[in-house]
Amino acid sequence: MNHFLDIHKTDPDALRLIIDQGVAMKQARADRPKGTPDDEQPLAGRMVALIFEKPSTRTRVSFDVGVRQMGGETMVLSGSDMQLGHGETIADTARVLSRYVDMIMIRTFDESVLTEMAEYADVPVINGLTDRTHPCQIMADVMTFEEHRGPIKGKKVVWTGDGNNVCASFLHAAGQFGFDMTFAGPPQLDPEAEFVGFARDRGSKIVIERDAAKAVDGADLIVADTWVSMHDAQSARERRHNLLRPYQVNDALVAKAKPDALFMHCLPAHREEEVTSSVMDGPHSVIFDEAENRLHAQKAIMRWCLGV
Ligand code: CP
Ligand code: NVA
């Protein structure tokens, strides 16, 4: 049994295996209707709890569909409706859920909720996003990049905007998959030193750049995310927008990257804020392949967690 808590906590060989299996499982389904089961049913007879303490479209639907395609069943739980949201400890919740279900996916606020759940659960726990990281997203992003451009090793990824949870998992992936990354954003919103340090310690070139135009020079991939994350105070919205406006991904910025650079965004996007519609819907964008690959990458993650 394996937990999938973070990219830096998962062995690079396991990460590679997951990506390759995600690709293989995607190919095996090819043009099948989404509601049809896979030929292989590794989750037959298994129940997966999907817990959400924050809103979600992609994570919720892709996990639910993924489990069903592999023959399992799901229950989607909202944190506030559970006793978890009314004072029951995470440890007790983990022990109880382990008696009912075979795997737990949780989207929560504080990372300690995830790690405590994993510590006390007897079943695999998967990180469906915390305030600090979003590893399932970046597994799908690596898969998407490689699907379009081949191995990501040695490539240059440019993160634009807020050094947030998604950026953190990208930095972990830089270290584990061996690519370089430039962060283009204001100093007030730099990624945590721990995340940058992890990637640098593993030999990735990580550059912190204040000028977005300089940052994208030679970029193989440009990534954007919302300027105000779910865990950010709405009162900080205006300040964040003012700080981040120079980092908008628009046609002029993309034109300064490599001619075949890709554009990614984990979604949901705020069109004309962090990215223009012309880029989202333009020739460099792979955002909907990226969203689709959440399904395939997570199916491989779940199989790895259960060893099936
Ligand atoms: N990208 C992502 O995790 O989307 P949701 O918030 O819709 O799950
Ligand atoms: N950074 C965003 C990602 C959403 C999928 C958030 O945490 O709200």
- The predicted-structure confidence for 66-97, as pLDDT tens digits, reads as follows 999 999 999 999 988 899 888 899 999 999 99
* Whole-number pLDDT of residue 80: 87
Q: What is the pLDDT of residue 85?
A: 84
Predicted TM-score (pTM) of the model is 0.98
- Whose alpha carbon is nearest atom 2 of ligand 1? 58
Q: What is the pLDDT of residue 235?
A: 98
pLDDT band, very low/low/confident/very high, at 116 (cuts 50, 70, 90) = very high
pLDDT at residue number 234: 96
Of 56, 162, 225, best ligand 2 pocket probe by most atoms within 8 Å of the beta carbon: 225
Six token digits for residue 92: 């007790």
Contacts of 177 (CB under 8 A, 6+ apart): 12, 15, 16, 142, 152, 153
Residues 223-237: tens digit of each pLDDT: 999 999 999 999 999
Q: Is the pLDDT of residue 145 over 90?
A: yes
The binding-site residues of ligand 2, defined as CB within 6 angstroms of any ligand atom, are 129, 164-166, 225-226, 229-230, 266
Question: What average pLDDT does range 209-231 have in this prediction?
Answer: 98
221 touches 262 (CB < 8 A): yes
pLDDT tens, 149-176?
999 999 999 999 999 999 999 999 999 9
The 10 Å Cβ neighbour count of residue 277 is: 12
User: Rounded to the nearest 5 degrees, what angle is found at the Cα of 225, between the Cα atoms of 143 and 152?
Assistant: 25
Nearest CA to ligand 1 atom 3: 59
Is the N-terminal amide bond of 268 cis, ω within 30° of 0? yes
Of 225, 189, 183, 190, nearest to 204 by C-alpha is 183
Express as a percent the part of the chain with pLDDT over 70: 100
Q: What atom of ligand 2 comes closest to residue 266's alpha carbon?
A: 5
Give the ligand 2 atom nearest the CA of 166.
1
Confidence band of 31 (pLDDT split at 50, 70, 90): confident
Catalytic residues: 107, 134, 137, 225, 266, 294
Average pLDDT of 37-50? 97
For residue 109, is pLDDT > 90? yes
296 lines ligand 1 (CB under 6 A): no
pLDDT digits (tens, 9 = 90+) for 183-205: 999 999 999 999 999 999 999 99
Average pLDDT over residues 120-141: 98
Count of beta carbons in the 10 Å neighbourhood of residue 259: 7
Please state, rounded to an integer, the average pLDDT across all residues of the chain.
98
Residue whose Cα lies nearest atom 1 of ligand 2: it is 229
Distance CA 84, CA 123 (A): 18
| Candidate from 266, 290, 293 with most ligand 1 atoms within 8 A of CB, to mutate | 266
Atom of ligand 1 nearest to the CA of 267: 1
Does the beta carbon of 204 sit less than 6 angstroms from any atom of ligand 1? Answer: no
